[in-house]
Structure 1
Amino acid sequence: MPVLPQPLLSSHSPPSPSLDALHPSSLLSRHSSDLLLDPTRSNVVTPESSQSSLVNSPTKDNSALNNVLFNGNGNGSASSTAASRRGTISKGYKGRGRAWGEGEGEEDDLVEGAAGMEGLRVDTEMENGGWASSRRGESLMNDGGGGGDGYGGERLRILIERPSTPQISSNSLLRPTFPPSTSSARYPPPSTGLFGLYRALRAKLSLFTLQAGSMAVSSLFLGGVVIFALLNKLLFLTIPRFFYPRAPQVFEWDEPEKWKKEKIINDPQYYAQNAGLELEETIVESEDGFYLKLQKVIVPNAPVHSDGRGGFPVLIMHGLFQSSGSFITSEERSLAFWLAKQGGYQVYLGNTRGVFDMGHKTYERGDPRFWDWTIRELSMYDLPALVDAVIAQTGYSKIGFIGHSQGNGTAFVSLSLGIRPDLGSKLTCFVALAPAVFAGPLTHGFPFTVLGRMEWRTWRRLFGVLDFIPIMTIAYNLAPQAAFASLGYTMFAFLFDWTDANWLLRRKGKMFRFTPSPVSSASIFWWAGKGGFATRKCLFDVGLDKWFDERFPPLSVYYGGRDFLVLTEPLLDRLAEKETEVQVMRVKKLELSEHCDFFWAAEAVEWCYYDILEDIESTRTRYPEEEELEQVEPEVLIEMAV
């Protein structure tokens, strides 16, 4: 068996799990397709304007390569414009470069164009404009050729992630996930004719075999987790409560008779109408072709300001395995409904790709390319697309943003250097609920310890290359509503150490009717697999001097004293010591709060809603009538008041 080449790393940065940390320079945005590696310290972000780029990294023989481009050559036959490592999926299935070609890997040739690591060829653009090609240690020089990819933008110092990361191919280090159409010449179409038909059928058969096996294995895994969780619930919750029942919950504001007949159903519109509101849905297309569902809370007879615009716009983003449904199932005290009524805002609920059965302009949901994404794509494409859509619909140049867990983790990544820091100019404030920047102690236990040892090759056989544990998606659509919600709570309560101590128990089924929502297998590998977030313990490289700059919007942080999934204190230390350009408006610790209690707790309104309202009010754009009043002399205002 041939020896796999090692990933390219700075000579001063030996391979280690810490090098796999997601940090501003390890995520490539469409605005920064050219990269720069510092030969002395590869983990320093330095944006630089340039038309060309240099990548200094040692090869096997420690020779420096400039502007490295990979071309896979499976078994020495035809070529592919993006190398795919053995055991991963090519033609863009698990390589950001959307590889096309005729290469053939040794394993799991799931699609036409899969290229194995054997036969790797490195094309190197030299300073004189020529190309140097190296294949398995052999070098040759060709005159001419060369120039950059023509994307322009910033150059960044970047760490190259390990080949075990599924969504990373060497091609992705040099160009965006979806290159502009002007570069289509670099991506030849798949072969045609009988040979093309043969390869297409072979690819479909390979995919079917992989998914069938992973469906069975992952379903057994999920079943085992659910059974263990049910036993845990029986021993530590049901039996103790039988002997020591909880006192009934009584709140002055509660109207149990009004809501006791509300159904458990996975229809957001139903819950909005029960609260006297409506949800207006819009389909937003991201730059990489994914359709995203954006929902606006409609308040009957909402006031219109003198300039013809509605209230100030606020976008809310959900966490991992969740959807906009998380913010609408607490009846009239749901976060989205409460802000729309009490603040007079135009409240929008965003959903990431794949949620609510959303599709893609090119790929079907059964295509692995549809599921080839992680937080990197959510940060580069989904969040910016949703922000731009809200701005376009409302006519405001800036909006308020609230994110929970992965929802704010995505925003932190978007706003970091080298990704989309320009997004900060479109946000008046950033409210982070349970900020998912540093991993909590819960990630030290089962199942994270088991998943954290899995290489991608093993992971894909257990969980497939489409959505993570697809039986969950099937159950979401077909299982009895109440049963799905009950099992969802039982499973997540066990995995994430959640309790219902702070909730109204009658709401629990409704809250978990939208959880879990579909997530890509590659994304969960990024969070929990080998070298993932649970192992690295941080979204970013903590060795970097700066994650953010002055474009970061005013930040408010809310975190719980009983949240063991993420840690907030290290983030606060970082903000105080290094990210001094970030304006921190508020830090509030809710001692009794768990991970989702900022919007699910019975007393969430009293705990944090009013503070969130104040954060938005203190930073939002002034309405025209308010600006007019500000021009009036104080004496006149007093006379008007009298």
Structure 2
Amino acid sequence: MAVHSLLSVVAAIVVLVVMVHPHRAASASSRGRFGVKSVDQGDIAVTGLCTSATIMHAGYKCQEYHVVTDDGYIISMSRFPQGRNGEGVGSNKQPVLLQHGLLVDGMTWMLNSANESLAFILADNGYDVWISNTRGTRFSRRHLSLDPAYKEFWDWTWDDLVTDELSATIDFVFKQTGQKLHYVGHSLGTLTALAGFSEGNQVDKVKSAAMLSPIAYVSHITTALGNLAAKAFVGEITDLLGIAEFNPFGAPVSIFLKALCANPGVDCYDLITEMTAIRYGKLAKFDYGSARSNMEHYGQPTPPIYNMSNIPKDLPLFLSYGGKDKLSDVKDVQILLDSLRFHDVDKLDIQFVKEFAHADFIMGVTANNIVYNQMMAFFRNHQ
């Protein structure tokens, strides 16, 4: 890979890292709450996955929607209501919501051929497919009152994805279709769902949930860059650079990247495999940095823990994880599974794919036969 191309990739990834764990400004309380679940689709210019998707994969009907979260972020969602060239047309089709992981957007579900990409496989198999794009990604960079050019736009943590964004997207699909939905998450998309479900968030609107490369605990990350990135999520990156969004080719970023990649054992040529999605060590809410601040927000000196054992025991769960996954490490998945040990046995389907790494669950050319077919069988068993 050319040096310039490598730096472009690294820079883009670091930009997204900062987006996901933003700077908590003193003016955070000025954000307000909007209580809006949808927006007039005619009020916003149509931008989203559909243009790219129809160029890459002809024959699929694609629709764009926009959802406004309770904290005012406008989330782009794309819908594939039927399969290629109109296959699978019919009423009351089962909706499926796909939620991507960190460092990517909804395009992650359609990067391979139509026969290998989950979004199109589901559409061709008669599902009503919905794809969400997390706030801050290229298709969801709008807000009712905040401008992404200013740090106030980035004043959120992944906890807000749990409390606001997960709620808004699931609720929107439920109301649009009138049906409970199947949820599919990868990486960060599993983290937000597991955390949300543990607090009863939108569980009544979910028929089942499939977690690909599930992340809830990261005590056993084995890669150097993964550990560095996880520890950086306490905010040192934004404190170092002094801004929430920054020029990826500017001098401060260049210095940061060189320092990061100079650490022993860090391989900057394998960033997708190396990067992780959450803070190091435990699944807890945002730490405001002091016992006093945490008391103000939570009524206790330390951030509350998301308790995975609180996930409703009758919620059908499909968990698929890989033996070569350095982010969703096997030992960490076992901790998650232990917390689900009292889950209804007929509602928990666990798949271990020895040869799969983190990205194989969304980009592997064999994922269709190995993972997706079993996942769709799981869906059929829990209609």
TM-score by length of 2: 0.71
Amino acid aligned to 1:390:
V
The 5 Å alignment of 1:459-478 reads 459-467=237-245, 470-471=247-248
Aligned counterparts, 1:423-442, within 5 A = 423-439=202-218, 441-442=220-221
1:90 and 2:90 are equivalent in the alignment: no
Does 2:270 align with 1:494?
A: yes
C-alpha distance in 2 between matches for 1:444 and 1:491: 9
Alpha-carbon displacement from aligned partner over 1:94-130 (angstroms, at most 9, x marks no partner): xxx33xxxxxxxxxxxxxxxxxxxxxxxxxxxxxxxx
After TM superposition, give the deviation of residue 559 of structure 1 in Å: 0.5
2:318 alignment counterpart? 556
Q: 2:52 is matched with which residue: 261, 270, 280? A: 270
Task: Say if 1:281 and 1:582 are closer, same or farther in 2 by CA, change over 3 A.
Answer: farther
1:548·1:579 contact (CA, 8 Å) conserved in 2?
no
3-state DSSP class of the match of 2:64?
Answer: strand
Task: Normalising by structure 1, report the TM-score.
Answer: 0.44
Equivalent residues of 1:366, 1:466 under 8 A apart:
no
SS of 2:168's equivalent in the other structure is helix
Q: Secondary structure at the match of 2:355?
A: coil
Aligned-residue offset at 1:461: 3.8
In structure 2, the residue corresponding to 1:278 is in which secondary structure? coil
- Tell me the residue number matched to 2:329: 567
1:233-284 Cα distance to aligned partner (Å, 9 max, x none):
xxxxxxxxxxxxxxxxxxxxxxxxxxxxxxxxx9653343443213211111
CA–CA separation in structure 2 for the residues paired with 1:429 and 1:472 = 43
**Could you say which residue in structure 1 is the equivalent of 2:258?**
none
Are 1:604 and 2:367 matched, yes or no?
yes
**Kindly tell me: are residues 587 and 390 of structure 1, through their superposed partners in 2, closer, same or farther at Cα, counting changes over 3 Å?**
same
Q: Deviations over 1:403-458 (max 9, x none)?
A: 000001010111123xxx141111111100000112164466247348737964x5
In structure 2, give the amino acid aligned to 1:567: D
Alignment-mate amino acid for residue 89 of structure 1: A
The question of whether the paired residues in 2 share the 8 Å contact of 1:550 and 1:582 is answered with: no
Query: For 1:537 and 1:617, how far apart are their aligned partners in 2?
Result: 34
Is 2:138 the partner of 1:356? Answer: yes
Judge conservation of contact 2:34–2:72 (CA < 8 Å) in 1: no
Instruction: Judge conservation of contact 2:316–2:348 (CA < 8 Å) in 1.
Output: yes
- The percent of aligned pairs where both chains have the same amino acid is 22
Answer yes or no: is 1:387 the counterpart of 2:170. yes
Residue from 375, 389, 401 that aligns with 2:158: 375
**Shift of residue 603, structure 1, vs aligned partner:** 1.2
> In 1, are the aligned partners of 2:210 and 2:319 still within 8 Å (CA)?
yes
Distance across 1 between alignment mates of 2:52 and 2:336: 42
Aligned length: 311
**Residue 279 of structure 1 aligns with which residue?**
62
Give the direction of change, closer, same or farther, for the CA distance of 1:88–1:390 in structure 2 (3 Å limit). closer
Q: Deviations over 1:558-589 (max 9, x none)?
A: 01111011224444455445651465431111
Whether the 8 Å CA contact 2:93–2:126 is kept in 1: the answer is yes
- 1:335 has 2:118 as partner: yes
Distance 1:610 1:549, change over 3 A: closer
* 2:86 is the alignment partner of 1:301: yes
Counterpart for residue 75 of structure 2: 292
The alignment partner of 2:202 has SS state of helix
Map 1:71-470 → 2, pairs under 5 A: 89-92=25-28, 97-98=29-30, 178=32, 269-275=51-57, 276-298=59-81, 299=83, 300-305=85-90, 309-332=91-114, 333-341=116-124, 343-357=125-139, 358-396=141-179, 398-417=180-199, 421-439=200-218, 441-442=220-221, 445-446=224-225, 448-449=227-228, 452=231, 456=235, 458-467=236-245, 470=247
Tell me, what secondary structure is at the counterpart of 1:348?
strand
Query: What letter corresponds to residue 316 of structure 2 in structure 1?
Result: P
Q: Which residue of 2 aligns with 1:530?
A: none
Measure how far apart 1:542 and its partner are.
Answer: 11
Structure 2 counterpart of 1:462, one-letter code: L
Answer yes or no: is the 8 Å Cα contact 1:401–1:429 preserved in 2.
Answer: yes
Once the two structures are superposed, what CA deviation does each residue of 1:61-92 show, in whole Å capped at 9, x if it has no partner?
xxxxxxxxxxxxxxxxxxxxxxxxxx963111
1:590 is aligned to 353
Separation in 2, partners of 1:452, 1:599: 26
Bigger radius of gyration among the two: 1
Do the aligned residues in 2 keep the contact of 1:311 with 1:345 (CA within 8 Å)? yes
Closer, same or farther in 2 for the Cα pair 1:546/1:320, shift >3 Å? Answer: closer
